Amino acid sequence: MAACWVQGKEKRCSRIRQLCFHPAIMLGRRLLQSRQSSSLSTIAKALARSNSTAATTAPAAASNPLAAQAPNYPTTWSANQQPRPLGQSNPRFEQTAMETQPAPLSAMQLISEEPIRLVDGRKAVCDGGDGPLGHPKIYINLDQTGPRSCGYCGLRFQQNHHAH
């Protein structure tokens, strides 16, 4: 049994100290934890500053060839996306074998390989598929020449020239 100090009196708890839920004990634990975490964070910051030169030269020294973003798409598709080896250089991927990680196909490339759907009218309807697998039904105006894509799924529709 551990002793708990509550309101100036010693009280014997039947539980161990870690499971004691007296407000005074919990407040004391929070203060101790915040002091420990703040001291740990200052130590970590100091270590990061002292090792910052070594950390910045390590990725430059490693000669990783640029891998394709996806097996079917060679470059990044967003302005804020990092190339594949650089995007996985943070501590989360330190002890991860990247060869065993999945490399999914790029949806942009798969949609571009999808044929353009010819529509006889002036408007196309796209719902992205059946039921819960699709998206809200939208109507696409096909008055302008050339294919028009769905804003949700990227499927392309074009007015059939014989339907003019």
Measured distance CA(13)–CA(35) in Å, rounded: 26
Contacts of residue 125, Cβ cutoff 8 Å, sequence gap at least 6? 137, 138, 139, 140
Secondary structure element (H or E) that encloses residue 124, with its range: strand 123-126
pLDDT-derived band of residue 54, with 50, 70 and 90 as boundaries? very low
Whether 80 is covered by a domain: the verdict is no
Measured distance CA(55)–CA(124) in Å, rounded: 54
Measured distance CA(39)–CA(60) in Å, rounded: 32
Q: In the prediction, which pLDDT does 66 show? A: 54
Of the spans 24-33, 48-57, 126-135, which averages the highest pLDDT? 126-135
Whether 83 is covered by a domain: the verdict is no
Average pLDDT, the chain: 70
Whether 94 is covered by a domain: the verdict is no
Whether 155 is covered by a domain: the verdict is yes
Q: Do 106 and 77 meet the contact criterion of CB atoms below 8 Å apart?
A: yes
Q: In the prediction, which pLDDT does 86 show? A: 64
Distance of CA 154 to the CA centre of its chain: 22
Whether 136 is covered by a domain: the verdict is yes
Measured distance CA(86)–CA(58) in Å, rounded: 12
Give residue 137's domain range. 123-159
Whether 90 is covered by a domain: the verdict is no
Residue type, 71: P
pLDDT digits (tens, 9 = 90+) for 68-103: 677 777 777 778 877 766 666 777 777 777 777 777
pLDDT digits (tens, 9 = 90+) for 98-140: 777 777 888 888 888 899 999 999 999 998 887 788 899 999 9
Model confidence at 17: pLDDT above 50: no
Whether 132 is covered by a domain: the verdict is yes
Number of domains in the chain: 1
Whether 140 is covered by a domain: the verdict is yes
What is the length of the chain?
A: 164
Predicted model pTM:
0.46
